[in-house]
Every structure is written in C-alpha cells, then in structure tokens.
Amino acid sequence: MGNNDFREIIEENVVDETEAIGEAEVEAQEVSVEDDDKGYEDICYICHRTERIVGKMIKIPGNICICNDCMQRTFDTMNYGGFPMDGFMMSPDMLGGHSKAAEGEDEEDGTKEKKSGKRLGKIPTISMINLADLQGFGMPHAKKIKKRKPDEKREPVIDIHNIPAPHKIKASLDEYIVGQEHAKKVMSVAVYNHYKRVGDTSEDGIEIEKSNMLMIGPTGCGKTYLVKTLAKLLDVPLAITDATSLTEAGYIGDDIESVVSKLLAAADNDVDRAEQGIIFIDEIDKIAKKRNANQRDVSGESVQQGMLKLLEGAEVEVPVGASSKNAMVPMTTINTKNILFICGGAFPDLDEIIKERLNKAAAIGFKSDLKDKYDKDENILQKATTEDVRKFGMIPEFLGRLPVMFTLEALTEDMLVRILTEPKNAIVKQYQKLLGMDEVKLEFAQEALESIAKSAKEKKVGARALRSIIEEFMLDIMYEIPKDENIGMVTITKEYVEKTGGPQIQMRGCLAIEQK
C-alpha cells in the first residue's frame, strides 16, 4: 500500500471527525485562531521549525500545523514498519473492500456493516489519536514569531536620520555617567558608525565592516551601566548575557546561540528588530584559554571559536524562549550581520602581564626603571595592548573580530562623591525621593559624602560599594521616620556615617520658622 492510499484514509477520518464536531463550530474556531495568529508565523507541531524555514504547512483540525517533511516522514514510517501491515492493515476489510466471505456474511445479516457496528475502511490506530488533546505537551503557544513578508515594503527599523551625532550621544551619557570621558567618546563614535552601516542602502560596492567593541575595566567602574544607558538612549533591543555559563555544544550549560536568543526575546520575538540590536557579553574574560592543557577546555577556547561566526556575521538557528536547543522548543533563523556585539570584562591579573612587559626595559644602572614603578598605578589597564590580552588567554581570531578596544578608568574618591549626587539616577536622589513621599527632606553634608566615598574606595569593588554603605546607615532612619509625623528634615553627618554620632533632625515647626 502506497502513501496516496494512507492520505485518502487519513483525509476520510479527518472529514468524519469534522462532521462529528459540527461544521459551524469548526468554522468559528478557525476564524478565532486566524485572528489570534494574524501576523505570526506557523510552527510545525512535530519539529518546531517556523514557516519561513520549512515553507507552507499542512493544517489539520485543532489548530495544528505540520510541515511537509514531517508529514512525509510520518507516511514513510507507516508504510515501512510503523504499523503492523501484514495480515492486519493490508487486508481488504481494513482498506474498505469486502472479501467474498464478508459479503456472504453481510447478505445473511442483511447489512453491510460488521457485527461490531463499525464501518469498514477506517484505521482504528489513527482515529483514536486526537492531536488537539496533546497540545499541552507540545510547543508553548506563548512563544510566537512574527511573520516576514519579503514582498512587503517595510520601513527600516533603524532610521539613520534619527540617530543622534556622536557629540549628542556623549552629552546624553554625561547626564547619567560620571567620568569615563574616553570610553564614552569611543562608544559614541562606534555606535554611530555602526548604525550608519546598518542604514546604508547605497550600491557602490563599498561594504563597511562591523565595529564590535571590547571593554576592559576594573569591577564596579560602570561597564554594564554604560551599555544599558546607551541602549536606552537609542531605543534599540538590548540583551545582556554572561559568558560564564557558555559551554561548547554537547556539554551542560548554555549554547553559544543563547546570546542571540536572549536578544530575540528582548525584541519581543521580532526578528527584524533583533537583527539590528545590541548584545553585551559580560565577564568575557572568563572564557579565556585554560593554562592546564591536561583537561578538555569546554568553556574556554572552544567557546571563543564558536563565537567567531556570531561576531563576524552569519545566519544561525536559535531557540525561541529557551537557552538551549531541544525537541520541544521552536527554532528560527537570525542573521547576526547587523548586530553590534560589545564584550566587557575586568580581566583580573592582566595588570601583572602589563607590568611584566613594561619592566622588560629595566636594567642595572642609574638610568634603569624600578620594578615597582607601576605597582601603585590604578590605571595600569589603560596601557593594555592586544598582545597583552592575547597572553591573558584570548585567541587572535577572537580579538580580530573586536577591532575597537578601550579601557575604563578606575574610580577615584572624587569620582565616587560625584556619583553619589550628580547623575540623574544618583543614589542620594533616590533616597531623597523615598523620604519625600513621607514629606521629609533629606540632606547629606559634604563631609558625610566624602566619608562614604572613602569607605567605598577601601572596599575595592567600585561604585557597587556605595549602595551597600548607604543602605547600612539609612536602615534606622527609614525605619524610624514613619513613626513620627513631626519630623520635617534629616541631615546625614560625617559622625553618623562613621558611627561616632547621630544625624541632625529638625521638626516641622522649627523648619517652618527657619524658612520664614
């Protein structure tokens, strides 16, 4: 029996099932499904590939779509061993025909049906399976991918005329980030050139290459916050991922394509927007080559090699709504040609490699350099070169796809004081807003701010220490203020920060007299 015979039998069963449900109810269901899925691609129920990858699909009742490959594979399985063909399904009775013995029985009984009451020509094995009942175990309906119509004229996602100039981008970054003048200038120019490349539609044969970036800076200097602010100003999809969980394909951990999958989720599963977004890979120094050559490096050099095609630009098949590929997750294809990759890391012990290179010129004599000359240099990372990063463990092919490399400055005490008060989202402004909801004014003495910055500098974790220090001494104030409605103003003093005194509290009556 061929595939065509099975197609006729399956279609006959589907028609019978439709008649049992009722034609009016089926039409109403189809209309509602079309309205819900309008503008989204169909996904194969079996292989979970999208309509753009496999082409037009076959739809069966229950809002189930099956691609031609899976349907043909099902027919082949049924034809070559998926069902017990011999003596059971190959019999004339099962195919709708009648043997002479059966005809004799029918004539004696005066009917053309068997004693069981079932009409011949059906396949019991298939008629008992209702795929609609299995949707709860299939692909999730919440993960939908928007359709792409190649013939439809669509407006570009990124309009080059709306991208601000580099000096305007830097001016916007200055409102949120203190210091890091060189880093802000480099990022402004690189991002502006990248989106000029994306919006270029000329056909003069000149193709502009991508300007992927590598940020190097100590912990807490603002690498992640810089990228977040930049993406917010440009209003483009941004995905922030961590390189520590990435592993080689086939090992436990996130696949390399998961970084692109997170960008697709940030773009609300819109492939066109995702293909022009920004991916920030933090902790990139954690995938450096391992110095122990006796073990397989599944999360180091192999991950760098796997990321080469992503950084340069290639069409990759990524899971939708998951970090790894599996049989229950739909897949889609994304071209990373116009995706801007920004990699950042603290690169611990890179300063030792830099010092070793700089001290090679040291010699015996009066004019020789001291070996401890650079020990107290906090901005030693600014002297880093591509060769230093390669010795750290990054392969040359990986560094070659990150042409823009720059270093962030270490935060000084003066910069930490400015971080407390100057940015739009400064920590002091956040607490002033919190107490302002209780109609209480909060002030910080200048000596108190300097004491906070000094304590944060000693912790050596950058600006992250500021929040923890303020949270510690603001706990009692945030707890006690709501108790007394007569409190009108609280001033944080240096003694209170250093735990040698208390804050200055003014009542509403006294505060009103002073204001007059």
**Structure confidence by residue, pLDDT tens digits, 56-89:** 888 887 778 888 888 888 877 777 655 444 444 4
What pLDDT does 362 receive? Answer: 57
- Which of 17, 54, 59 lies closest to 34, judged by CA? 59
Would you say residue 435 has pLDDT above 80? Answer: yes
Would you say residue 164 has pLDDT above 70? Answer: yes
* 83-95 CB burial, b ≥16 within 10 A, e <16: eeeeeebeeeebe
Least confident span in 101-115, 310-324, 338-352 = 101-115
Residue listed under structure tokens 């004539």: 107
Percent above pLDDT 70 for the chain: 69
pLDDT-derived band at 434 (thresholds 50, 70, 90) equals very high
Sequence letter at residue 25: E
Position with higher pLDDT, 269 vs 295: 269
**Structure confidence by residue, pLDDT tens digits, 322-362:** 666 665 677 788 899 889 999 999 898 888 888 888 877 55
What pLDDT does 87 receive? Answer: 41
d(CA 140, CA 138): 6
Q: What single DSSP character describes residue 437?
A: T
What pLDDT does 367 receive? Answer: 56
pLDDT-derived band at 127 (thresholds 50, 70, 90) equals very low
What pLDDT does 442 receive? Answer: 92
d(CA 68, CA 299): 38
Contact present, 423 and 222 (Cβ < 8 Å):
no
Q: Which residues face 254 on adjacent strands?
A: 246
d(CA 155, CA 16): 47
d(CA 184, CA 281): 18
Contact present, 267 and 261 (Cβ < 8 Å):
no
What pLDDT does 357 receive? Answer: 84
Position with higher pLDDT, 99 vs 422: 422
Q: Is 366 helix (H, G, I), strand (E, B) or coil?
A: coil
d(CA 395, CA 407): 19
Chain centre to alpha carbon of residue 433 = 32
Alpha helices in 133-291 (DSSP H): 166-174, 181-198, 223-234, 258-266, 271-274
Q: What is each CA distance from 53 to 67, 102, 104, 334, in whole angstroms? A: 10, 49, 54, 11
What pLDDT does 432 receive? Answer: 92
